[in-house]
């Protein structure tokens, strides 16, 4: 009752309505409607496979670029064995209501049953540390299509998401929490977004202050404006 999923007729009707609304019955492809279920599945797969194919022409070249590095204690911290405290912190920093993976369990379940399954979680983490890879099948996920508009008709009007298993999320989170401790040492101070303590608008604020100072002191200067066009 607290979470709003009381077993009532209204709840079941809401679930059926949402399921029917999200179901993909037909799709518009090259000006023609495709209604055959198997054909729709095939076209969905072909469309997103083409989207996710690596394009060598657009790949970023970083040859001869020198990056900042970490040393000593920072390096040791990054490769140390994960403790139970670290893994628990990673679990509790994840959103409990995120979509579950193929097994149907989400992070909320892991938190609720932590005392019972923590040894299994730690054993999986240890296996990953030793082998450096996932056992076959443990990283399987499925692709879900979320409509971007009210009545989607084409594949481009869907947003794909990939719900993955909790174990993948936990280890990824634990690794990111370690990187978080040293990331400010290797990312240049000019990078003003996507880092804690830095804001996306910082660069705009600095540019505005510089422009005001140039005007106030009547200095000579050149300002370049970069315009991004979306296609």
Tens of pLDDT along 112-161? Answer: 999 999 999 999 999 988 888 877 777 777 778 888 887 777 878 888 88
184 pLDDT higher than 90: no
* CA dist., res. 104 & res. 70, Å (int): 39
Task: Please choose, from the candidates 112, 129, 136, 110, the residue with its C-alpha nearest in 3D space to the C-alpha of residue 121.
Answer: 110
Q: How do the domains of the chain map onto residue ranges?
A: 1-66
β-partners of residue 160 are 145
* Cα distances (angstroms) measured from residue 133 to each of 5, 121, 136, 138, 139: 38, 15, 9, 10, 10
* CA dist., res. 192 & res. 37, Å (int): 47
Tens of pLDDT along 167-176? Answer: 888 999 999 9
Tens of pLDDT along 32-66? Answer: 787 777 888 888 888 888 877 777 777 777 788 88
């Amino acid at each position: 009752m607290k979470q709003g999923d009381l077993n009532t007729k209204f709840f079941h009707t809401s679930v059926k309505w949402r399921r029917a609304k999200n179901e993909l019955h037909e799709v518009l492809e090259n000006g023609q409607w495709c209604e055959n279920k198997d054909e729709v599945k095939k076209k969905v797969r072909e469309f997103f496979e083409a989207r996710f194919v690596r394009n060598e022409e657009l790949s970023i070249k970083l040859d001869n670029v020198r990056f900042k590095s970490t040393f000593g204690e920072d390096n040791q911290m990054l490769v140390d064995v994960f403790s139970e405290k670290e893994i628990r912190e990673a679990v509790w920093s994840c959103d409990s209501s995120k979509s579950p993976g193929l097994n149907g369990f989400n992070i909320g379940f892991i938190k609720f049953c932590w005392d019972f399954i923590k040894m299994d979680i730690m054993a999986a983490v240890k296996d990953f540390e030793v082998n450096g890879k996932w056992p076959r099948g443990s990283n399987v996920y499925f692709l879900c299509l979320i409509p971007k508009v009210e009545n989607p008709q084409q594949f481009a009007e869907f947003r794909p998401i990939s719900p993955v298993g909790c174990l993948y999320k936990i280890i990824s989170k634990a690794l990111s929490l370690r990187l978080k401790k040293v990331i400010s040492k290797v990312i240049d101070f000019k990078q003003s977004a996507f880092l804690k303590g830095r804001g996306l608008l910082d660069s705009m604020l600095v540019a505005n202050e510089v422009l005001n100072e140039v005007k106030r002191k009547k200095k000579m200067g050149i300002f370049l404006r970069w315009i991004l066009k979306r296609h």
